[in-house]
């Protein structure tokens, strides 16, 4: 009997679907912290009709071969799907789905949090206080960037998440410059977004750069040495999208030279590895890819992935296929 395989436990919401899956067994990799090692994944997918995966699972030819011809759907519990070989899936008629729309607000909240933490040196100040060293309020103490004093924000990728970030930034009084599919939309105009024709045009104009585009083969290292150099001296980089969009070697150099004042990174070029030099820098705030980690958001992501699987197994159009 074919089964549904989840590479991570997704909480109680899964129990509500077990009867909907009929006689198919639901098998779940039990470790909440780590995904199945490759060997285990390849064994576990054998005979599966559906896979429910996350950004940490590389889903490619090898996995499809190991699964077998009955595999119908891969439902990624993420809006991004750069971990899945779409061509290989399409060639085998396997549907791939993602979870757009349900995590925009959570990622935008975290983006603003990371931006404030970085520009106002929150983590650096927290670390200082924990040393127990003598201190007293001072006019020069932990001075950072006033984002509400007309600072400009560059959004690369004004899609759903970028727009949610723009709304928040507008409430802070930031000037917003953006590239992306919605940069010239009416909604963007109402937020006062200034559309930029290209990333190159946007970079020299902004105090804070925030990335919100998907990772593709074309935009790996979208932000490298030349791009960082073209940014304003004393500006900041925030990345809650995908690590490989940024060349971390070049980022280290830009931070070391003082050209960039700081960086807030929720995602990392060689995730789950983090750069040892970046780890040493006080002006860098690093998070372990928690953009969508709101309780309600994660439940919605799991539910949407399960709905996608159910639809495909029932021969219906899934709610959010990757096209």
- Catalytically active residues, by annotation: 242, 271, 289
x/- mask, ligand DGY, residues 172-191, rule CB under 6 A, reads --------------------
- Which residue lies nearer to ligand DGY by CB, 94 or 211? 211
Residue 159: Cβ within 10 Å count: 18
The DSSP code sequence of 186-236 is HHHHHTTPEE-SSHHHHGGG-SEEEE-----STTTTSB-HHHHHTSPTTEE
CA dist 102 and 299 (Å) reads: 10
Q: Which of residues 276-295 bind ligand DGY (CB under 6 A)?
A: 291-292
CB under 8 Å, gap of 24 or more: what pairs does 72-76 form?
72/312, 72/313, 73/49, 73/97, 73/308, 73/309, 73/312, 73/313, 73/318, 74/50, 75/50, 75/51, 75/305, 75/306, 75/308, 75/309, 75/318, 76/305, 76/322
Query: Is 164 near ligand DGY (CB under 6 A)?
Result: no
For 35, 41, 63, 84, 171, the CA distances from 31, given in Å and listed in that order, are 7, 13, 20, 21, 41
x/- mask, ligand DGY, residues 98-117, rule CB under 6 A, reads -----x--------------
- Rounded least distance, CB 212 to ligand DGY, Å: 11
- Which residue lies nearer to ligand DGY by CB, 78 or 115? 78
Cβ atoms 251, 226 nearer than 8 A: no
- Rounded least distance, CB 76 to ligand DGY, Å: 8
- Which residue lies nearer to ligand DGY by CB, 119 or 240? 240
- Which residue lies nearer to ligand DGY by CB, 7 or 292? 292
CA dist 212 and 202 (Å) reads: 14
- Rounded least distance, CB 82 to ligand DGY, Å: 8
- Rounded least distance, CB 103 to ligand DGY, Å: 6
Cβ atoms 308, 321 nearer than 8 A: yes
- Which residue lies nearer to ligand DGY by CB, 103 or 174? 103
- Rounded least distance, CB 240 to ligand DGY, Å: 8
Q: Which of residues 57-96 bind ligand DGY (CB under 6 A)?
A: 78-80
- Which residue lies nearer to ligand DGY by CB, 241 or 263? 241
Q: Site for ligand DGY (CB under 6 A): how many residues?
A: 7
- Rounded least distance, CB 253 to ligand DGY, Å: 26
Residue whose C-alpha is closest to residue 199's, from 185, 212, 217, 216: 212
Residue numbers at the binding site for ligand DGY (CB under 6 A): 55, 78-80, 103, 291-292
């Amino acid at each position: 009997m074919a089964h549904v395989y989840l590479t991570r436990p997704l909480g109680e919401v899964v129990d509500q679907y077990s009867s909907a899956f009929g006689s198919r067994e639901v098998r779940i990799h039990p470790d909440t912290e780590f995904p199945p090692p490759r060997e285990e994944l390849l064994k576990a997918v054998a005979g599966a009709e559906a896979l429910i995966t996350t950004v940490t699972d590389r889903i490619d030819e090898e996995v499809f071969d190991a699964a077998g011809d009955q595999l119908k759907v891969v439902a990624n519990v993420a809006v991004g799907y750069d971990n899945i070989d779409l061509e290989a899936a399409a060639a085998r008629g396997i549907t791939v789905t993602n979870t757009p729309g349900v995590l925009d607000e959570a990622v935008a909240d975290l983006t603003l949090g990371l931006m404030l933490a970085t520009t106002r040196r929150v983590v650096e100040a927290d670390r200082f206080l924990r040393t127990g060293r003598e201190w007293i309020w001072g006019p020069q103490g932990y001075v950072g960037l006033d984002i509400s004093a007309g600072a400009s924000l560059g959004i690369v990728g004004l899609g759903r998440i970028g727009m949610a970030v723009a709304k928040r930034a507008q409430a802070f009084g930031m000037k917003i410059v953006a590239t992306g599919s919605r940069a010239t939309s009416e909604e963007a105009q109402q937020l006062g977004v200034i559309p930029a024709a290209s990333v190159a045009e946007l970079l020299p104009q902004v105090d804070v750069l925030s990335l919100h585009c998907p990772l593709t083969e074309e935009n790996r290292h979208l932000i490298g040495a030349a791009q960082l150099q073209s940014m304003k001296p004393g500006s900041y980089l925030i990345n809650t999208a995908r690590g490989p969009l940024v060349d971390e070697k070049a980022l280290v150099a830009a931070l070391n030279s003082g050209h960039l004042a700081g960086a807030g990174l929720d995602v990392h070029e060689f995730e789950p590895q983090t750069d040892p030099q970046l780890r040493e820098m006080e002006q860098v705030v690093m998070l372990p890819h928690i953009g969508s980690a709101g309780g309600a958001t994660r439940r919605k992501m799991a539910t949407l992935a399960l709905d996608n699987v159910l639809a495909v197994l029932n021969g219906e159009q899934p709610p959010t296929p990757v096209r």
